[in-house]
Amino acid sequence: MLIFSVAVKSALAKSQPIVALESTIIAHGMPFPQNFEMAKKVESIIEQNGATPATIAIIDGQLRVGLSHSELELFAKSGPQIMKVSTRDLPFVVSQKLNGATTVASTMRIAAMAKIAVFATGGMGGVHRGAETSFDVSADLPEFARSNVAVVTAGAKAILDLSLTLETLETLGVPVVGFGTNDFPAFYSRVSGLKTPMQCNSAQEVAAMMKAKWEMNLQGGLVIANPIPQAFEIPSAEIAPVIEKAILEAKRQNIAGKNVTPFLLQHLAKVTAGRSLTANIALVENNAVVAAKIAVAYSQ
């Protein structure tokens, strides 16, 4: 079922550190060619920090763990035509032998199947605003309660209800760890005003917590909330009104479900003259550094 790249297969055989990466961020999160350059740069950063990158995607119905540059380019160029695949969609895409870009949830599930314990992304999904009537809650959250993977993320996407997202993670028993902070980051912004329930200040501390959790047979992953680098931050007071307008525009156009996030990211990039895209790339790169260091510490 799983098809490994040569590099990932070798790293697994030698119990070397590996960092999983999603493919939705390439296919649906950014425009070409920035998405392709980001994908290559993030893999390079992980290698420079002592780990093997494993970008996860579905190609011709096969669960691929580790992609070539030409395969990364395929997803970067053909993004809008490639299906966005959450855990629910995996059986359909595999049985129909389709291409699929994996979300945080499905990337976690496949990484867990591959015995990869660390995953770097941009921002995780969560509880959408207005979920009390729409019931729109990302499949990322229940996946955290199932898959034994530590996910390094710049918090939840700023378009979400962050307070309800944290409440839901608590209900699911998912540890939310601030990396060097006790304030839950809000994607573009370093602080949200919401406190993380716990804090770790080094990769070694995170790795020790992962080990302790899974040795106690406590099922599920961890949220490692890593703030965007200060130089690229868009403060909450500045980005919040822009996000509110973008959400209203999505409602006006009747955009819903899995199409909301790509629309809002594109809209924000346009309104901020590309500044939000620059911030997005910077936080992904920063998460890759932290994830690689955690993977190295955990492998030791």
Q: What is the predicted pLDDT for the residue at 137?
A: 83
Q: What is the predicted pLDDT for the residue at 132?
A: 72
Q: At 112, phi and psi to the nearest 5?
A: -65, -40
Q: How many whole angstroms separate alpha carbon 211 and alpha carbon 293?
A: 15
Q: What is the predicted pLDDT for the residue at 251?
A: 82
Q: How many whole angstroms separate alpha carbon 283 and alpha carbon 279?
A: 6
Domains, the chain, ordered by start = 2-299 (3.40.1790.10)
Q: pTM, whole model, 2 decimals?
A: 0.94
Q: How many whole angstroms separate alpha carbon 197 and alpha carbon 4?
A: 36
Q: What is the predicted pLDDT for the residue at 271?
A: 85
Cα four-point dihedral sign 124, 126, 130, 136: positive
Q: What is the predicted pLDDT for the residue at 157?
A: 78
DSSP E strands in the chain: the ranges are 2-4, 18-21, 52-59, 62-65, 83-85, 100-102, 118-120, 150-153, 176-179, 198-200, 222-225
Please give the positions annotated as active site: 22, 157
Q: What is the predicted pLDDT for the residue at 49?
A: 98
Q: How many CB atoms within 10 Å of residue 98? A: 16
Q: What is the predicted pLDDT for the residue at 258?
A: 67
Per-residue pLDDT reduced to its tens digit, 76-132: 999 989 999 999 999 999 999 999 999 999 999 999 999 999 999 999 999 877 767
Check: CB of residue 148 under 8 Å from CB of residue 222.
no
Q: What is the predicted pLDDT for the residue at 131?
A: 67
Q: What is the predicted pLDDT for the residue at 219?
A: 97
pLDDT beneath 70: ranges in the chain: 131, 133, 258
Per-residue pLDDT reduced to its tens digit, 134-157: 778 889 999 999 999 999 999 987
The per-residue b/e assignment along 135-174, b for 16 or more CB within 10 angstroms, e otherwise, is ebbbbbbbbbebbbbbbbbbbbbbbbbbebbbebbeeeeb
